[in-house]
Amino acid sequence: MNNHPTRRENTMSRLMVSVSGVRGEIGRTLTPEIAAQFGSAFGTMLGAGATVVVGRDSRPSGPMIRSAVISGLLACGVRAIDLGLVTTPGAALMTGELKADGGVVITASHNPLPWNGIKFLRPTGLGLSVEAAARLKQIWESRDYAYVDPARCGTETTNDSTHATHVGKVLSIVDVKAIARRRFKVVLDSVNGAGGVGTAMLLKKLGCELIPMNAEPTGLFAHTPEPTEANLTDLCAEVARCGAAVGFAQDPDADRLALVDEHGTYIGEEYTLALCAAYVLGGRTGSAAANLSTSRMIDDIAARHGGTVFRTPVGEANVAGRMLEEGCIIGGEGNGGIIDPRVVPVRDSMAGMALVLAYLTATGRTLGELVGDIPRYAMIKAKFPCPADAAPKVAAAARKQYAGRKGAAFNDSDGLRIDLPSGWVHVRASNTEPIMRIIAEAPARDAAEALVEEVRQIAEPFVKG
What confidence tens digit (pLDDT) does each residue in 42-88 have?
Answer: 999 999 999 999 999 999 999 999 999 999 999 999 999 999 999 99
Give the rounded percent of residues in the chain with a pLDDT score beyond 70: 97
Q: What is the mean pLDDT of residues 29-50?
A: 98
The model carries a pTM of: 0.91
**Is residue 120 within 8 Å of residue 69, measured between CB atoms?**
no
> How high is the pLDDT of residue 289?
98
State phi, psi for 352 to the nearest 5 degrees: -60, -45
> How many other β-carbons are positioned within 10 Å of the β-carbon of residue 406?
6
Q: What is the mean pLDDT of residues 151-165?
A: 98
b vs e for 141-178, b when ≥16 Cβ sit within 10 Å of the residue's Cβ? eeeebbebeeeebbebeebeebbebbbebbbebbebee
Give Cα 209 to chain centroid, integer Å: 27
SS3 content of the chain, % helix, strand, coil (to 5): 40, 25, 40
How does DSSP classify residue 350?
H
pLDDT band for 390, please (50, 70, 90 cuts). Answer: confident
Q: Whole-angstrom Cα distance, residue 328 to residue 286?
A: 6
User: Can 142 be counted among the known catalytic residues?
Assistant: no
Is residue 395 pLDDT above 70, yes or no? yes
Is residue 462 pLDDT above 90, yes or no? no
> How high is the pLDDT of residue 13?
58
Domains and CATH numbers, the chain: 8-160 (3.40.120.10), 165-372 (3.40.120.10), 378-464 (3.30.310.50)
Partners of 119 in the β-ladder = 105
> How high is the pLDDT of residue 8?
34
Q: Mind listing the pLDDT tens digit for each residue in 259-310? A: 999 999 999 889 999 999 999 999 999 999 999 999 999 999 999 999 999 9
Determine the Cα angle at 346 with ends 258 and 97, to 5°. Answer: 130
> How high is the pLDDT of residue 2?
41
Q: Mind listing the pLDDT tens digit for each residue in 414-437? A: 999 999 988 999 999 887 777 899
Torsion, CA 247, CA 252, CA 255, CA 260, rounded to 10: -20
Query: Cβ contacts of residue 23 below 8 Å, gap of 6+?
Result: 15, 16, 30, 108, 111, 115, 116, 117, 118, 432, 433
Q: What is the mean pLDDT of residues 15-22?
A: 89
Given the residues 13, 109, 295, 349, select the one marked as catalytic.
Answer: 109
pLDDT band for 463, please (50, 70, 90 cuts). Answer: confident
Q: What is the residue-wise DSSP string for 425-461?
A: EEEEE-SSSSEEEEEEEESSHHHHHHHHHHHHHHHHH
**Is residue 38 within 8 Å of residue 143, measured between CB atoms?**
no
The pairing of strands 209-213 and 185-189 is parallel
Q: What is the mean pLDDT of residues 140-155?
A: 97
CA distances from 448 to 68, 106, 379, 407 (A): 45, 36, 6, 17
Over the chain, what is the mean pLDDT?
94
Q: Mind listing the pLDDT tens digit for each residue in 238-257? A: 999 999 999 999 999 999 99
Q: Whole-angstrom Cα distance, residue 409 to residue 415?
A: 14
Is residue 12 pLDDT above 90, yes or no? no
Sign of CA dihedral 309, 310, 312, 317: negative
Query: Cβ contacts of residue 325 below 8 Å, gap of 6+?
Result: none
Is residue 316 pLDDT above 50, yes or no? yes
Among 57, 162, 53, 40, CA closest to 103: 53
Among 427, 433, 430, CA closest to 460: 427
Is residue 391 pLDDT above 60, yes or no? yes
Is residue 465 pLDDT above 70, yes or no? no
Is residue 5 pLDDT above 70, yes or no? no
Give the rounded percent of residues in the chain with a pLDDT score beyond 90: 87
